[in-house]
Amino acid sequence: MVTIDSILLEWSYRCNDGVVDLNNPKKKAILEQVLSELGIEDTQEITEVSLSPTQLEKPFPPRSEFSSQYKDRGEKFLDKIINNEDFTLNDGSIIKLDSDASLEAIKLLQNKDYRSLGKGVKLLVDTNGKEYSLAQFKKTDEFGSGKGSGAGAANTALQESTQCLANAIAYRVKNSPINKEDLNDENIEEALKYIDVTSSVDEMKSFLKDPSWAKTFINTANVLLAQFYNPNFEFHRGSSFTNSIYSAYKTASKSEGISMQSDKWNPADIWLVSPSVKNITFPTDLKELNGLIAELLASNKLIGVSLKKLGDSAKVSLNNITGEELEGYSYEGPPISTNKSKEAKIKYNKGVIAFRTFNYATNFAGEIQGKTAAHGKVGTGAINDALKLNQLPLLPSTQELKSEFEDNNETLINDFYNIYNNIVENISEDDFNTILENKDIDWKVSKYLSLKIGDIVNSASSSIQDEFISDLIRYASSSTKISSAFVKIS
């Protein structure tokens, strides 16, 4: 039986850049040739494949950018839920899944009990409370569909691998800044000796010459060459060496009880690697690991680089090299909250952080509102990481609180009353209990957590207050003090 996956695989193989696109006339003609050979007459007969337990059980192919990160596609699905990433449904709509509301599904994914997510059961709940079965999720390219939208929006792995190739031409072949004329087959063949990447040679050759990306590859290579020259550098993307760095972090973070994902700890897309460091065994103590990476960056032997598509110019910024270089923020408490609102705000010298639930009794987070721009949100996991780093009490989960409020837990109610009195208004216990009787579970969970975080921080020393605020904001920009050194191109 001919499957859709096999058709897509053959189609992508015959496209020079490995990317399929029905809107491209030449590529559509290639597809029609493939279908003709298979006895299929109409491209409309091809439909998208939905996700299924069988799909989740499959490992990623060796060429996939995820092959070294996940044992199977179910682990990637779980990671996307935890990181609050977008999912695409079969109807084309985009949703985010609520990790609290989807807790039963998360446990099944963690236990790799993928079969229990089949047969139409609806255990996946989005941030609006709507329930879905696994079959309603589209099998996008990150789950192995093979689909793409053309070289101009090529997948991340190919972009990063091709940047390594351009870097190798500048550093190892030309030993000077490069231009479009230098992106020729002769230089490419020579440069291949100095890269360790995940994309094929043919894919990179084609993408390197794409006019919508060539400027980015050239400008990035040139600015790196000017700032971090080392004639012995190799250029890695998804290599066994760079994977060993992230493996060390995963071990270190687990022992520290830290939930920060590896791409927040160090968001480097590619690495500039001196052969002299390739035999290093990276420590699994977080401070030692971060110190070593900072030292190697400072000595120009190992540089992680976060990439971005560029215009006519490029600039470099250093991140997390030393503690002194990290920008700090100042706490300007006490927390602010009214008797009607379900949120509490903490002021800092450059804005406020508003804490509240962002879905009904779930998804508690702090929204960082700067005076000039928003910095994003930090969820309960990030908040607890920052509390733990500063040796402050941790917040309970929304699920735990909902259960305790439903049981009318006396200890919880007393604590709620005390911090409400301290921050919002000084009222009697009877008046407070009357307020609770007239509020729903969302208000109770949101109000308690937002006041609790305010009370914890306001009770700390001034230096800890400043550190906590700074950690939250740095977390949002991949720059906490548990993050490691990297270079950002923009």
Question: Which has the closest alpha carbon to 205: 162, 146, 141?
Answer: 162
Q: Which amino acid is at 367?
A: E
Q: What is the pLDDT of residue 42?
A: 47
Which backbone phi and psi does 379 adopt, to 5 degrees?
A: -80, -175
Question: Which has the closest alpha carbon to 309: 228, 229, 176, 210?
Answer: 210
Contact 11/30 with Cβ under 8 angstroms? Answer: yes
Q: Beta strand 486-489 with 131-132: parallel, antiparallel or unpaired?
A: unpaired
Q: What angle do CA 173, 179, 183 make, to 5 degrees?
A: 55
Going by the DSSP 8-state scheme, the letter that residue 51 receives in this structure is P
Per residue in 58-94, pLDDT (tens digit) is 887 655 567 767 889 999 999 999 988 889 887 778 8
Question: Which pair of tokens denotes residue 426?
Answer: 């000084």
Contact 352/345 with Cβ under 8 angstroms? Answer: yes
Q: What is the torsional sign of CA 34, 39, 41, 42?
A: negative
Q: What is the pLDDT of residue 309?
A: 80
Q: What angle do CA 390, 396, 399 make, to 5 degrees?
A: 150
Per residue in 118-142, pLDDT (tens digit) is 877 899 999 999 999 888 888 887 7
Give the pTM.
Answer: 0.53
CA distance linking residue 344 with residue 334, whole number of Å: 10
Per residue in 435-459, pLDDT (tens digit) is 999 999 999 999 999 999 999 999 9
Q: Look at residue 303 and give its three-state secondary structure.
A: strand
Going by the DSSP 8-state scheme, the letter that residue 292 receives in this structure is H
Question: Which pair of tokens denotes residue 288?
Answer: 């030692």
Contact 394/388 with Cβ under 8 angstroms? Answer: yes
- Ranges under pLDDT 70 in the chain: 1-24, 34-49, 61-65, 68, 145-155, 322-327, 371-375, 476-481
Burial environment of residue 164 by CB neighbours within 10 A (0 to 12, 13 to 18, 19 or more): buried
Alpha-helix residue ranges (DSSP H) falling in 172-229: 185-191, 201-208, 211-227
CA distance linking residue 425 with residue 402, whole number of Å: 24
Question: Which pair of tokens denotes residue 382?
Answer: 């990030």
Going by the DSSP 8-state scheme, the letter that residue 465 receives in this structure is H
Q: Which residues is 370 bridged to in the sheet?
A: 351
Q: What is the pLDDT of residue 15?
A: 64
**What length does the chain have?**
490
Residues 6+ apart with CB under 8 A from 283: 248, 252, 289, 292
Which backbone phi and psi does 97 adopt, to 5 degrees?
A: -95, 140
Q: Look at residue 346 and give its three-state secondary structure.
A: strand
Contact 6/145 with Cβ under 8 angstroms? Answer: no
Q: What is the pLDDT of residue 62?
A: 58
Question: Which pair of tokens denotes residue 310?
Answer: 């560029």
For helices 462-476 and 441-458, what crossing angle results, to 10°?
Answer: 130
Residues 6+ apart with CB under 8 A from 151: 17, 19, 206, 207, 210, 212, 213
Q: Which residues is 354 bridged to in the sheet?
A: 345, 367
Q: What is the pLDDT of residue 324?
A: 47
